[in-house]
Amino acid sequence: MTVILGIETSCDETSIALVKDGREVLSNIVRTQHIHGKFGGVVPDISSREHAEFIDTVYYEAIDKSGIDINKIDAISVVNGPGLIGSLMTGLMFAKGLSLHYNKPFIPVNHVDAHIYANVLTHGNLNFPLLSLVASGGHTSLFIVNKEFKTELIGKTIDDAAGEAFDKCAKMLKLGYPGGPSIEKHSINGNTNFHRFPRAKIKNFDFSFSGLKTSVLYYLNDKDNDFINENLSHITASLQEAIVDQLINKVISASEEFNINILSLAGGVSANIRLRDKLKEYSIKTGKTLYVPKLCYCTDNAANVAGIGFMLYQKKGFGNMKTNVYSRK
Ligand code: KG4
Ligand code: ZN
């Protein structure tokens, strides 16, 4: 039995998990920093300070809940990028401290790879190669993933990430942060054809959401509050549809171009039910396999990190005291 302790502090979740053999989640404590809500987005400096203040509480809770003696763990895995530098730094230094104190190796983990691993936690053994869409607040990328879990990037956003588009549109509609869940909530029973927001037309497998953001801004400019309140469900349903359509169209065209019939979703936006349902409908119609993570493994959490940490542990992908953080891949 191998137990990995995972640490995730890349953005606004402080999370620590213990996972056995890369599959069995013994504990996964996630503390979301709600303080950013009042600013309409994550404030990096506040995020770092909150991680520093609460990481010990999250750590003790994760250890307690797992029932594992900290001396019995095999390694510590930690996200060291991409993400917010100060936030990543708190997690990395905490990992280095545990590593020195308990004389255990630590494993630096890529944030995006950890998101993709959510599908292993959810489904167990996966079939490869698979086409994975990773859509979050910081990333919107398409990867081909092979059985060694090596990722080949085939497309990415040229401006905003899909989650960022949700967050910025929600801010314009005064729906608070994070925007994805609130837009999704308001869009229930909304008419997706109420207004046609643009879907960027980019030839390759890249994405773009800045045009959508501008069009929502122009659309709202000449609308009064009564109109917006009365039609909120339709407006949110229509703009959610524009984001979901773009994501799905790229997955479909990449799947056809590369002849890959195994699809997967990952990242915070993969919690979106409309996205999950529409891609499920496509995969059933075409006989393709689709992996979607359990909702609790979509947004940032340390179980994904401890899970992929196990895979890297077997390959001895250890870090050292010189290991540092990075903001972008
Ligand atoms: O993966 P994640 O927790 O953090 C990053 O790595 O960025 O993703 C957070 C993003 C936010 O932009 C949030 O609005 C979006 O994921 N999100 C959603 C939903 N839940 C979270 N977007 C659409 N629908 C959701 N249900
Ligand atoms: Zn993330």
- In Å, the largest CA–CA distance within the chain is 62
Task: Output the pLDDT for position 187.
Answer: 98
- Give tens-digit pLDDT for 54-100: 999 999 999 999 999 999 999 999 999 999 999 999 999 999 999 99
Average pLDDT over residues 130-138: 97
Residue nearest to atom 1 of ligand 1 (CA): 268
Average pLDDT over residues 260-270: 98
Give the global pTM. 0.97
Ligand 1 touching residue 15 (CB < 6 A): no
Average pLDDT over residues 19-35: 97
Task: Output the pLDDT for position 40.
Answer: 84
Q: Is the pLDDT of residue 329 over 80?
A: no
- 328 falls in which pLDDT band (50, 70, 90)? confident
Residue nearest to atom 8 of ligand 1 (CA): 268
- Give tens-digit pLDDT for 158-175: 999 999 999 999 999 999
- 15 falls in which pLDDT band (50, 70, 90)? very high
Ligand 1 touching residue 293 (CB < 6 A): no
Ligand 1 touching residue 176 (CB < 6 A): no
**Residues 5, 26 contacting (CB under 8 angstroms):** no
Ligand 1 touching residue 300 (CB < 6 A): yes
Q: What is the mean pLDDT of the chain?
A: 97
- 38 falls in which pLDDT band (50, 70, 90)? confident
Q: Measured in angstroms, how far is the CA atom of residue 323 from the centroid of ligand 1?
A: 28
Ligand 1 touching residue 267 (CB < 6 A): yes
